[in-house]
Structure formats: C-alpha cells, structure tokens
Structure 1
Amino acid sequence: MPFLKNSKGKESVEIFYQDYGKGKPVILIHGWPLSHQSWEGQIFTLVEEGFRVIAYDRRGFGKSSQPWGDYDYTTLAGDLNELILHLDLKDVTLVGFSMGGGEVVRYMTEFGTDRISKAALISSIIPIVAQKDDNPDGVPQKALDEILGALKTDRVGFLKDFHKNFYNFKEGAAGVTEANLDFDFSVASHASPNATIKSAEAWAGTDFRPELKNVTVPTLIVHGDDDNIVPYKTAGEQAASGIADNTYHLIKGAPHALNLTHGKELNKLLLDFLKK
C-alpha cells in the first residue's frame, strides 16, 4: 500500500494515498469525518475518462497515521504539499469536498499555484461556516458547540445519525440506502477520536474570506441548494463572489453529499471543467 511519510512538524506522519490512471493529475480531498473512499464514484469515472487520480486519507482518518495534535489547516495543507512534491506533480487540479475545500485554499495561500492549474470546491466549507454579524447565513455558534460537545461525550452515538443529514436521508426514498449509512458510520467511527474533534474545530472555526484572493486559477464551485450541513449562502454563494475566475453551479434539491446522490450530474460537471 502506498504511503507518504511527512516528517515535517511536531510529529512524523504517514499519509495513505491511492494513485490510479494516467494523464493530467487530479487530487481528490475528502470531507469530514470520512476517508478517500467517499470519492468512489468519482475515481472510477475520472480514471476511465483518461485522468490520473490521486485520492488520499487526511491525517487521523482512513489508513493514515493518527497523531495526537496538529489538525489546523496549515498543517493539513502541508501534508497535501508533501504529496504533490513526493509524486512530482504538475498541472494539478485540486478537488476539495466539504472540509477538503480548506486544504485547497490554504495550499494556495501557503505554497502558491505554480503546480496547480485548476481547482474545484464541492459542497465546500469555503469561505466560512460559522454565523457572524457579517455572515448572517452561517451556522449558529450554538449548533457548532453542540456538535463539538457531542463528539467529546458520545462521538460514536453522534456519528451514527450524522450522515443522515449528509444525504437528507429519508427511509424508503431512492438514492441512498441504509447500507450507505452503515458504510459511512464504519469509516467515521474508526477515525481517530481526537482527529475527529480537532479537525471539526478547524472547519468550524476558520474564516477563509481573506484568503479567497489567493485562488487565482480557474475554479469550479458546486453546491446543493438543500445542503443541511453547509448552507450554500454562506459557502458556495460567497465563494463565487470572492474567487475571481470561477464557474458556479447550484444543484436544485441536492444535499451535502451530492457526490453520491447527484453523482452523475457532478461527474459531468467535473469532466466538462477538466476537459475545458
């Protein structure tokens, strides 16, 4: 199994990644609290369409190391940079889902765009999650505190139901099955408890609005108008307003995890963007 060893920082970590196909490289960055496996439907399609697809597990999740500390976005972007250098990738498209959008933007802030040609933000937390006086459409701090409190007192119990909101799950409805929920629960529950908490603090508490100016490559933004996790008005809509060169698609009726529920539509948007 391929691992990248990153010895920079306080603790040495091993980052697990998969590298499939040939062609222009596309790096898929997963959301919280899952792993690279959440990109299953996109990996197959992109590889079959002639792209080199690299998908990795964020530190603390999946098969990657589970260090105690350092889950801030600068550290996470550092792992991404080490992966790009390790594989000597150029002309890269970075694709971040949900929390993964933070690595996309922070990477460009810290390391520039010399190796990056495009970016995509899918149901992304960019630029800000929390409700503030100047961000009235964000998630109220009380709700964010309740999530963090539940993770600290009953992490597994919280995760058991959390992904229902990922999909706007309704029993018996088409598109998402109990098996999907069981799979997500298995992946999320085996992640590092501390990583789950600390990375939640990162996505809930980081304001990327000052960094949007650093996203200077063509960027695809895709969000669902029925996203119960990251409302599109605080995320996709503001990202489209702050990133100069962007294409914004708001998918009607799509929940947060539209990469599964609206996979065909998302894949078409990604392919059209990558081939442009």
Structure 2
Amino acid sequence: MSTIKVKDGTEIYYKDWGTGQPIVFHHGWPLSGDDWDTQMMFFLQQGYRVIAHDRRGHGRSGQSANGNNMDTYVADIAELTEALDLKDAIHIGHSTGGGEAIRYAAQYGKDRVAKVVLISAVTPIMIQTDSNPEGVPSSIFDEIRQGTGFTRAQYFYDFPVAFYGWNREGKEVQEGIKHNWWRQGMMGSVLAHYEGIKAFSESDFTEDLKSVSIPVLVLHGEDDQIVPYGQAPRAAELLPNGKLISYPGFPHGMPTTEAETINKDILAFIKS
C-alpha cells in the first residue's frame, strides 16, 4: 500500500495512478478514496494523473485518537501534496471533502492548485446559527452522532437510502452501491467518524471561499437530502471566480449515481 506518515505519526493511505496534470479527490464522510472509483477510472482514461487518499480515521489510513478536525485533515493533505510534489493540480471535493479541498486551496494551495471543484459540498457552513439561520438544526447532527457512535453498523446500512435518493418515488435501491457505502464506512474508526460530524457541520469556510481567486466549479443536486441545495448558491456567491451548476432531482451521492453527467461537466470545466 502507498502511505505517508504525517507529522503526528498517523499514516495516510493514497492511490496515485497515471501521468499528466494531477487531479486530487477528497472524499466525503464517512467514506474513503474508493468512493471516487468511477471518477478515477474516467479521468485516468482521459490522460490525467489521479490521486485519492483516505482521510485520517477513514478507510485504510491510521485510526488516530487525535486530529479528527478540519484543520488537521487539511494539514494532512498539504503534507501529501508536498510529498508527491503536486503542482498545477485540480482538487475535487465531495461533501466534507469539498470543505477540505477549498480550505487546502486557501491555506496551502498557492502555486500548487489550478482549479477546484466542489460537489454537494458542506461549504460555506452547514449548522444553523444566529448568523446562519437557514442552516441545518443542531438536533439533526446530534441524531447522526447518536447513530454513528452507538449503533453504527445498522445506522450506516440505512444511511445510503437518503444519501442516494432511493427514498423518492420511482427510485430503487442499488444494492451493490449500498453495500459498498457500508463497507467503506465500517472500515474507518468509529471515533473519527463521531468527531468528524463536528468537523463537517460546524466548520465555517466563508473566508476560505472569499480568498480563493482561481476558478472554482460548484456542483449540487437540487434534491440533496444530506447537504441542502441552498448551500451551493451561497458558496458560489462568496467565490471571486465561481461557477454554479445545479441538477434538478439529483441526490447527494450524485458522483456515483449520476457519474456520466458529473464527469462530463467536470471535464469541460478542467479543459475550459
């Protein structure tokens, strides 16, 4: 396995295939780099170098008792991109990974990042506060904590139904995708997943978005039941050079269920 050991001793697993301009994929909670399989294969065949890591506490990376927060996630990515000497890279983040990607670009990406793509991202901030009245109530995240922390196996088995929009009329559960989601989730650390809920729900990416002047593409499904669609136009408005594409009826997990459309739009953005 390909791993690097970051400064606190945690091992970070990554996949690195191909040559050409690098594309770095940042996965969502509580998954792993495997969630990008369809994109990795597609962009590899288009002539790009594709890299996907497992966030600390997720997948095959080390299950550290510490550092399960957004700033440490981003610092880990900075060490990985430096170790691989990635420059002129496209960073693509889904959900929690969207926050990770934009903060990396803002804080570490100078002279290394060419463009960013945010898919179903948690940017600018998810949780409902006085300054963010349209956010998701904290009680929802408390429910996720309870299920994740104390009944994780069953909770993760049920979670993909809304994640992929299979609870909508006329939609059928795709069992292979559901089981793969569960597999990825159960590979990780329950502590990392539990603490990661605070990272994706309470991290405020407003200043990160404002400070990134390179082109950023925001993609969001209008029927996202995990990260409400309203996040997307707010994020796009904060970006100096942002573009928003919305998809009627698409779910949170659209990179998997709607891969053909998503991949085509990302490729067009990269080449533009």
TM range (shorter): over 0.9
RMSD: 1.6
Say if 1:43 and 1:90 are closer, same or farther in 2 by CA, change over 3 A.
same
Q: Which of 220, 237, 259 is matched with 1:241 structurally?
A: 237
Structure 1 alignment gaps of length 5 or more? none
Q: Which of 230, 250, 262 is matched with 2:258 structurally?
A: 262
How do 1:133-172 residues align onto structure 2 when only pairs under 5 Å count?
Answer: 133-170=130-167
How do 1:84-123 residues align onto structure 2 when only pairs under 5 Å count?
Answer: 84-123=81-120
Q: Which of 74, 79, 87 is matched with 1:77 structurally?
A: 74
Aligned length: 272
Secondary structure of 2:11's counterpart equals strand
- Say whether 1:27 aligns with 2:24: yes
Deviations 1:105-141 (A, max 9, x none): 2213332422111000011101111122332332111
Structure 2 letter corresponding to 1:245: N
Contact 1:137 1:231 in 2 (8 A): no
Deviations 1:57-76 (A, max 9, x none): 10111111111111111111
Deviations 1:30-62 (A, max 9, x none): 001111111111111101111110111101111
Query: Which one is further off, 132-141 or 255-264?
Result: 132-141
With normalisation by structure 2, the TM-score equals 0.95
Shift of 1:176: 5.0
Q: Which of 255, 271, 275 is matched with 2:267 structurally?
A: 271
Say if 1:22 and 1:176 are closer, same or farther in 2 by CA, change over 3 A.
farther
Q: Which of 219, 224, 229 is matched with 1:222 structurally?
A: 219
Structure 2 letter corresponding to 1:102: G
- Distance in 1, Cα, partners of 2:3 & 2:68: 19
Contact 1:108 1:214 in 2 (8 A): no
Shift of 1:259: 0.4
Partner of residue 210, structure 1: 207
Shift of 1:239: 0.7
Structure 2 letter corresponding to 1:250: S
- Say whether 1:199 aligns with 2:165: no
Identical positions, percent? 38
Shift of 1:174: 5.6
- Distance in 2, Cα, partners of 1:255 & 1:34: 17
Say if 1:222 and 1:171 are closer, same or farther in 2 by CA, change over 3 A.
closer
Contact 2:102 2:116 in 1 (8 A): no
- Distance in 2, Cα, partners of 1:160 & 1:190: 13
With normalisation by structure 1, the TM-score equals 0.94
